């Protein structure tokens, strides 16, 4: 069954592949773009894709754009200000939207240690706001999709390890396991969530393509090309303290402040980076990768 679906943050790392997968599933998609933005040029050309320029600070503007939509998906970046999803949530309710996917798409914000990290302040605030709104609007619901670290993006930019330069910053020895998922699989999970609305209602949903460690990824690359690696060893506790100190500055560098905290949430002890014990792959028909498929992916980034 085709739904009318709006995507906010449509031109971002997650937004574009999600839109492509929604269109492949024959949904009708509206890409919300900020008034005056030219980001729509990054989006695919498709008869089922329309654009709506909106004022993200105006409930009226957003409500008008969301009329007739069943689902709203927020794909904002980690540096988005705290409270920035509230207006979109209010407008979704006013327009009669029945399912809202907040800008999660990462590590486990249900984990108490993750929830305390400043990098997730916007996500935690949005989840609290959603829960309050759901409690008084029974026709409105949410799904918080957690795929762990982005696998393909993490290899491309060196967030996990960097196969192309054969270098890595390895945390806490590099053996800690974590869940990781490609943007393609994340996008398929979004589509599957829309096909399984009751099973995914008002909760976190966990998926992954694979469970790996930094050392396992490095070993796989060495197996593929035999080259030595330049590895810098550090600890997540040091990275967290350094990042928090940066954020205390009057004019902090977001890259030095927020992104190391994302790595802490993936690689750190007690942050729940491995979803194996509470996985929803079967609910959403996510197959996962074996080591051979993982190697076939990694070779693209050499």
* Confidence at residue 186, expressed as pLDDT on a 0 to 100 scale: 98
pLDDT score of 40 more than 80: no
Distance between first and last Cα of the chain:
40
Contact 52, 34 (CB under 8 A): no
Q: Which two tokens stand for residue 203?
A: 């909760």
Compute the 3-state secondary structure of the chain and give helix, strand, coil in percent, each to the nearest 5.
45, 20, 40
- Looking at per-residue pLDDT, the higher value among 77 and 91 belongs to 91
pTM: 0.95
* Confidence at residue 239, expressed as pLDDT on a 0 to 100 scale: 96
Give the separation between CA 245 and CA 238, rounded to whole angstroms.
11
pLDDT score of 226 more than 80: yes
Phi/psi-derived region of residue 34, left when phi > 0, alpha when psi is between -120 and 50, beta in every other case: beta
Give the separation between CA 115 and CA 126, rounded to whole angstroms.
12
Query: In which band, very low, low, confident or very high, does the pLDDT at 271 lie, cut at 50, 70 and 90?
Result: very high
Closest CA to 149 of 94, 108, 103, 203: 108
Range 36-58 average pLDDT: 89
DSSP state, residue 258: T
* Confidence at residue 225, expressed as pLDDT on a 0 to 100 scale: 96
* Confidence at residue 81, expressed as pLDDT on a 0 to 100 scale: 79
Contact 97, 138 (CB under 8 A): no
Query: In which band, very low, low, confident or very high, does the pLDDT at 11 lie, cut at 50, 70 and 90?
Result: confident
Query: Dihedral of CA 252/256/258/261: which sign?
Result: negative
């Amino acid at each position: 069954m085709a739904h009318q679906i709006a995507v906010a943050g449509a031109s971002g790392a997650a937004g574009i592949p999600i839109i492509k997968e929604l269109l492949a599933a024959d949904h009708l998609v509206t890409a919300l773009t900020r008034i005056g933005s030219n980001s729509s040029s990054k989006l695919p050309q498709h008869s089922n894709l329309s654009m709506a320029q909106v004022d993200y600070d105006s409930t009226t503007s957003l409500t008008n754009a969301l009329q007739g939509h069943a689902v709203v998906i927020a794909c904002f970046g980690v540096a988005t200000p705290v409270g920035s999803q509230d207006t979109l949530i209010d407008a979704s309710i006013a327009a009669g939207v029945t399912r809202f996917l907040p800008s999660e798409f990462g590590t486990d914000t249900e984990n108490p240690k993750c929830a305390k990290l400043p990098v997730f302040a916007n996500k935690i605030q949005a989840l609290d706001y959603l829960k309050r709104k759901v409690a008084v609007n029974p026709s409105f619901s949410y799904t918080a999709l957690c795929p762990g670290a982005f696998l393909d993006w993490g290899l491309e930019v060196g967030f996990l390890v960097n196969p192309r330069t054969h270098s890595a910053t390895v945390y806490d020895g590099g053996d800690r396991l974590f869940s990781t998922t490609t943007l393609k699989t994340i996008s398929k999970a979004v589509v599957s969530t829309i096909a399984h609305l009751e099973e995914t209602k008002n909760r976190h949903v966990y998926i992954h393509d694979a469970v790996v460690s930094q050392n396992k990824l490095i070993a796989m690359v060495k197996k593929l090309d035999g080259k030595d690696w330049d590895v810098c060893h550090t600890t997540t506790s040091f990275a967290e303290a350094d990042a928090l100190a940066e954020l205390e500055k009057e004019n902090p560098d977001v890259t030095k402040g927020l992104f190391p905290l994302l790595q802490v949430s993936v690689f750190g002890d007690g942050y729940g980076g491995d979803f194996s014990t509470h996985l929803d792959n079967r609910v959403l028909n996510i197959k996962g990768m074996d080591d051979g498929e993982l190697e076939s992916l990694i070779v693209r980034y050499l």
